[in-house]
A and B are shown apart, each in its own frame.
Chain A
Amino acid sequence: MTPIQCDVAVIGGGPAGLAAAVAATEAGADTLLLERHVELGGVLPQCIHPGFGLKLFGEELTGPEYSQRWVSQAAGIRRLTDTMVVSVSPGFTVWATGPASGLLEVRSGSLVLAMGCRERTRGAIAIAGTRPAGVMTAGTAQRLVNVHGHMPGKRFVILGSGDIGMIMARRLTWEGAEVVGVYELLPHLAGLRRNYVQCLQDNDIPLHLGHTVTEIHGDRRLTGVTVCGVDQAMCPMPATAQLVPADTLLLSVGLIPENELTRALGAEMDAVTGGPVVDDRMQTTVPGLFAAGNVVQVHDLADDVSLAGAVAGREAAAYARDGTAGAAWARVTPGSGVRSVVPQRLRLPADPATEITLRVRRPVEQRCHLLLTVRGATVARRRLDYARPGEMVSLSLGAQAAQALREGGDLAVEVVEA
């Protein structure tokens, strides 16, 4: 078996991988795109709702249309679909397998990880009760309805106010089902406000904050769930328990970056984002190994995933060409009020144009400042009218911060009320 040779191998053909492959090719790299599904696009083909492309194309596209734009841009790029990467080793050697090709060996100069994420399931949040049919993730229901044309139930309860859950609440209502309500454990919305307005408010679907499902009922098929209010420590309060009859429970309770391959290569991981630690060029702590999109951190918008993918692809092409991985980095650490930050490292000398993205720990519904500090001194700030955990925010590093980092020290990011 002759190994397939390429400059840049991209693992995953969703929005991050497509943008990475396009950017790497534009930068002159011989690029190979590997995708486990039979078609490219990742989750986009099942996201038939609008809202994609506002940032990149200046128009409101549906997921399939947004996907199609990238798939046509990637038209000339070598790809293997229906091919799953099973192992990777430094250097890089990629082993992949698929029904048409059998086992394949790929040798690449650099590697872009763009495997995206998986939904958390019932097992991940350990809901008590029986194990009937009719309990599934919101994304599974989305695929059944939008791609396969099957309605998975008639009366739905949705646990979690993530975007896919709210989008499915509208979709199922429009298909004639009854959506009893959306229940959210946290005291605030998990997804985007526009989805709350356009999916729930528009269709009179109630949102119950500070509630969770404590038990699943039913023998062969779900007959109902017990919902319960939670206290400030997020513990269910039994006195508030209530039986809600339903034949289907959808779970929209978060996403887990899919990083088995990343760990196998020994890249340092960030326990909060669930993804690898990356620098401002989307390079992990392994030289020549890049990562972008939801495999690094869960994004709100596909446009941002594509933008990150393009950086990873461009930089992976540069590494494959000249092999320079950088020599020194500053750490970026989440400070007061900040839950997670990406990138977690900045290659020195720091690029002032770097965008620092972050999620806040809890909602700040008033004017506040994002601060960047080096050795205790504020070197950049951005004023926000509010900051919410469900919405990723960003600020530019800027010249003053870049200059301060030349003199040593790490960068801390914090949010303070004005």
Chain B
Amino acid sequence: MSAGEETKEIICTACPRGCPLQVRVLREAVQVEGASCRRGVAFGRTEALDPRRVLTTTVRVRGGAVPVVPVRTRSPISRGLVPGVLAELRRVELLAPVSLHQIVLADPADAGTDVVTAASVEEVS
């Protein structure tokens, strides 16, 4: 193994199959072995350089039929940004009615995607 080269053992989570990947990282060159599909190769590359996750949680709702609504990032965000976005979402309170896929936070922490609702909430008068 040459200097600056690193091999990571990663379990692919692009699908539930969970292929064991061996990812070799040499500066920006990445070699993925063990994947059984193209999505797995892409996953291994991203997971080694910048692991990403869809963040899901709930935020409070005032005046709704239920007290909280599920929310999600539209697309996966860098894993390191998760705690900061969660902290921002804890300060959010939406006012009912809430519609599906309504924007909750636009591009939080420069994550490159929005946090949107994953369900609707009716207003209770």
Is B86 an interface position by the 8 A CB rule? yes
**Within the complex, what minimum Cβ distance (angstroms) separates B59 from chain A?**
9
Measured in the bound complex, the distance between the Cα atoms of B76 and A174 in whole Å is 16
Cβ of B78 within 8 Å of any chain A Cβ, yes or no, is no
Q: Does A60 contact B (CB under 8 A)?
A: yes
With A65-B118, A148-B67, A198-B53 known as contacts, the answer to whether A48 contacts B58 (CB < 8 A) is yes
Whether, in the assembled complex, B68 has its beta carbon less than 8 Å from a beta carbon of chain A, the answer is: yes
A48 touches B16 (CB 8 A): no
With both chains docked as a complex, state the minimum distance between the C-beta of A263 and any C-beta of chain B, in angstroms: 31
In the assembled complex, the Cα of A385 lies from the Cα of B40 at a distance in Å of 15
**Bound CA–CA A54/B54 (angstroms):** 14
Once A149-B67, A192-B18, A300-B16 are accepted as A-B contacts, the answer to whether A174 and B118 lie under 8 Å apart by CB is no
Bound together, the chains give a CA A65 to CA B54 distance in angstroms of: 14
In the complex formed, the residue of B with least CB distance to A50 is B54
- Contacts known (A146-B70, A197-B11); A391 close to B56, Cβ less than 8 A: no
On chain B, the residues within 8 Å of A391 by CB distance are: 16-18
User: Given the complex, which residues of A lie within 8 Å of B18, measured CB to CB?
Assistant: 192-194, 197, 391
Contact present for A54 and B15 (CB under 8 Å): yes
CB neighbours of A64 from chain B (8 A): 70, 118-119
B57 touches A174 (CB 8 A): yes
- Give the CA-CA distance A146 to B58 in the complex, in Å: 7
- Check A49 for interface membership: any CB of B closer than 8 A: yes
B66 within 8 A of A: yes
* CB neighbors of A among B23-71 (8 A): 36, 53-54, 56-58, 60, 66-68, 70
A39-59 residues at the B interface, CB under 8 angstroms: 45, 48-51, 54
Partner of A194 from B11, B36, B82 at Cβ < 8 Å: B11
Give Cα distance in the complex from A51 to B13, angstroms.
10
Taking the nearest CB of chain A, how far is it from the CB of B35, in angstroms? 11
Among candidates A49, A148, A174, A194, residue contacting B16 with C-beta atoms closer than 8 Å: A194
C-alpha spacing A45/B100, complex, angstroms: 13
Q: Which residues of A contact B82 (CB under 8 A)?
A: 174
Q: Across the two chains, which residue of chain B brings its CB closest to A392? A: B16
CB <8 Å contact, B70 and A193: no
Shortest Cβ distance from A176 into B: residue? B90
Name the residue of chain A whose CB is nearest to the CB of B47. A197
Residue of B nearest to A198 (CB): B13
Closest to B75 in A: A60
Q: Bin the interface of chain A by size.
A: 20 to 34
Q: Which chain A positions have C-beta within 8 A of B54?
A: 50, 60
A193 touches B66 (CB 8 A): no
A68 within 8 A of B: yes
A198 CA / B16 CA spacing, docked (Å): 12
Say whether A197 contacts B68, CB under 8 Å.
Answer: no
User: Which residues of B have CB within 8 Å of A198?
Assistant: 13, 53
How many Å lie between the Cα of A148 and that of B58 in the bound state? 10
Q: Specify which chain B residues have a CB less than 8 angstroms from the CB of A45 in the assembled complex.
A: 119
Q: Which residues of B contact A62 (CB under 8 A)?
A: 56, 70, 72, 118
Which of B19, B86, B119 lies in contact with A174, CB distance below 8 A?
B86
Residues of A within 8 A of B8 (CB): none
Instruction: Return A390 CB to nearest CB of chain B, in Å.
Output: 10
Shortest beta-carbon distance, A169 to chain B, in Å?
14
- Residue among B13, B15, B16, B19 with max Cβ neighbours from chain A (10 Å): B16
How distant is the Cα of A49 from the Cα of B13 in the complex, in angstroms?
14
Residues of A within 8 A of B70 (CB): 48, 62, 64, 146
Digitize B69-104: 1 where CB-to-A-CB distance is under 8 Å, 0 elsewhere: 010100000010010001000000000000010000
Residues of A within 8 A of B57 (CB): 48, 171, 174-175
What residue of chain B has the Cβ atom nearest to residue A48's Cβ? B70
A175-233 interface with B by 8 A CB criterion: 175, 192-194, 196-198, 202
- What is the bound-complex CA distance between A145 and B58, given in angstroms? 9
Mask of B103-120 contacts with A, CB within 8 angstroms, 1/0: 000000000000000110
A294 to B77, CA, bound (A): 33
Does A196 contact B11, Cβ atoms closer than 8 Å? Answer: yes
Complex contacts, A193 vs chain B, CB 8 Å: 11, 13, 16, 18
Q: Is the CB of B119 within 8 A of A50?
A: no
**B104 CB → nearest A CB, Å:** 13
Complex CA distance for A192 and B17, rounded to whole angstroms: 8
| Distance A64 CA – B118 CA, assembled complex (angstroms) | 6
Interchain CA distance A68-B120 in the complex, whole Å: 10
A62 to B60, CA, bound (A): 18
Chain B residue nearest in CB terms to A49: B56
Binding site for A on B (CB under 8 A): 11, 13, 15-19, 36, 53-54, 56-58, 60, 66-68, 70, 72, 79, 82, 86, 100, 118-119
Q: Which 6 A-B pairs rank lowest in CB-CB distance, beginning with the nearest?
A: A193-B18, A194-B13, A149-B68, A48-B70, A64-B119, A149-B67
Additional 4 contacts, C-beta under 8 A, given A64-B119, A146-B58 = A48-B57, A174-B57, A192-B18, A197-B18
| Sample of 5 A–B contacts (CB below 8 Å) | A48-B56, A62-B118, A64-B118, A68-B119, A175-B57
